[in-house]
Amino acid sequence: MDVKVFDNDTEAGKYAFELIKQGMDNGAKVLGLATGSTPVTMYQAMVNSDVDFSNMTSINLDEYVGMSPDNDQSYRYFMQSHLFDKKPFKETFVPNGLAKDPEEETKRYNKVIADHPIDIQVLGIGRNGHIGFNEPGSPFDAETRKVPLTQNTIDANARFFENKDDVPRYAYSMGIGSIMKSKKILLLAFGENKADAVQKMIEGPVTNDVPASILQKHPDVVVILDKAAASKLSKK
Ligand code: PGA
Q: Could you report the per-residue pLDDT of 172-226, keeping only the tens digit for each?
A: 999 999 999 999 999 999 999 999 999 999 999 999 999 999 999 999 999 999 9
Between CA 6 and CA 102 the distance in angstroms is: 40
CA distance 197 to 127: 6
Tens of pLDDT along 91-136?
A: 999 999 999 999 999 999 999 999 999 999 999 999 999 999 999 9
Phi and psi at residue 4, in whole multiples of 5°? -120, 135
Domain boundaries 2-201+213-222, corresponding CATH code: 3.40.50.1360
Give 4's strand partners.
224
Please report which confidence band the pLDDT of residue 236 belongs to, taking 50, 70 and 90 as the band edges: low
pLDDT score of 153 more than 80: yes
Q: Whole-angstrom Cα distance, residue 58 to residue 68? A: 19
* pLDDT of the residue at 233: 97
- Which ligand 1 atom is nearest residue 131's CA? 9
Distance in angstroms (rounded) separating the CA atoms of residues 197 and 178? 21
For residue 33, list its beta bridge partners: 60
Digit-coded pLDDT (tens) for 23-78: 999 999 999 999 999 999 999 999 999 999 999 999 999 999 999 999 999 999 99
Q: Which of 38, 130, 192 to mutate to test the pocket of ligand 1 (most atoms within 8 A of CB)?
A: 38
What is the Cα 90 distance to its own chain's centre? Answer: 20
CB atoms within 10 A of CB 56: 20
131: closest CA among 73, 177, 72?
A: 177
pTM of the model: 0.96
Report which residue type is found at 178: S
Would you call 166 exposed, middle or buried from its count of C-beta atoms within 10 A (0-12, 13-18, 19+)? exposed
34 C-alpha to ligand 1 centroid (Å): 9
Q: How far apart are CA 96 and CA 106, in angstroms?
A: 9
| HEC sequence for 103-169 | HHHHHHHHHHHHHCCCCEEEECCCCCCCECCECCCCCCCCCCEEEECCHHHHHHHHHHCCCHHHCCC
Q: Which residues line ligand 1 (CB under 6 A)?
A: 36-38, 124-126, 130
What is the C-alpha end-to-end distance of the chain, expressed in Å?
14
Q: Determine the distance separating the centroid of ligand 1 and the alpha carbon of 63, expressed in angstroms.
A: 13
Q: Whose CA is nearest to atom 2 of ligand 1?
A: 36
The pLDDT confidence band at residue 235, using thresholds 50, 70 and 90, is confident
Q: pLDDT of 63-99, one tens digit each?
A: 999 999 999 999 999 999 999 999 999 999 999 999 9
Q: Could you give the residue numbers annotated as active site?
A: 62, 128, 130, 135
